[in-house]
Amino acid sequence: MSTPSLSAVTHDVITAYGNTATHVIKAYRAGGERVARLVDERWDRAFAESSSQLATEVRKNAKAAHDFVASYYQKGILVTSNGAEAVVNKVVELAGQGVKQVAANASRFEAQTGVTALSRIAQTALPAAEAVSKLASRIEVKSGELLGKIDDRPAKRRVSAVRKARARQAA
């Protein structure tokens, strides 16, 4: 089993936190949709009980107002959660590229100067980074489990880069 580089471990941490943030966003979306369903059910019951006492025009207006507000609520949930997911994905992508670039520049610097201080610092920091990576992985898994409890819709579960890397290392 080879020792991963500091940049690889850092990239795994970034990916794990990105996946955790995505789980939180999806939980927000699922919770918002659940609230909308509960409000709709409550509205339907109340409307059914009182609709016989309302004039036809009032019933139409009440139903139209409810549908209008409900549609904007649903759109708000989707727009905010999709926007947040896009931001998280872009931040993870850019942070990953930044880590790769820093690692490449450090390697070039050491090759040009012959000074290996950066490699020694990276080797010294690696155990702490691996501990943070394990913690980030646990948080990611727990957030995924929480999402599974909140989100009652069947969904595709994505395997994180951290889990894939650990599986490769274990093999």
pLDDT of residue 4: 82
Highest mean pLDDT pick, 36-45, 113-122, 154-163: 36-45
Provide mean pLDDT across the span 154-170. 55
Cite the beta strand spans of 25-162 per DSSP E. Answer: none
Angle at 54 between CA 48 and CA 56, to 5 degrees: 100
pLDDT of residue 65: 93
- Give dist(CA 24, CA 147) in Å, integer: 7
- Give dist(CA 109, CA 129) in Å, integer: 22
Measured torsion, CA atoms of residues 36, 37, 40, 41, in degrees rounded to the nearest 10: -150
Q: Which two tokens stand for residue 18?
A: 């990105």
Asked whether the CA dihedral 38, 43, 44, 45 is positive or negative, the reply is positive
How does pLDDT run across 91-136, given as a tens digit for each residue? 999 999 999 999 999 989 988 898 888 888 988 999 999 999 999 9
- Give dist(CA 137, CA 14) in Å, integer: 10
Measured torsion, CA atoms of residues 32, 33, 37, 40, in degrees rounded to the nearest 10: 70
pLDDT at 159 over 80: no
Q: Distance between terminal CA atoms of the chain?
A: 9
Average pLDDT, the chain: 87
6-50 helix and 117-150 helix, angle to the nearest 10 degrees: 20
- Kindly indicate the confidence band of residue 149, based on its pLDDT and cuts at 50, 70 and 90: confident
For residues 18 and 99, the answer to whether their CB atoms sit within 8 Å is no
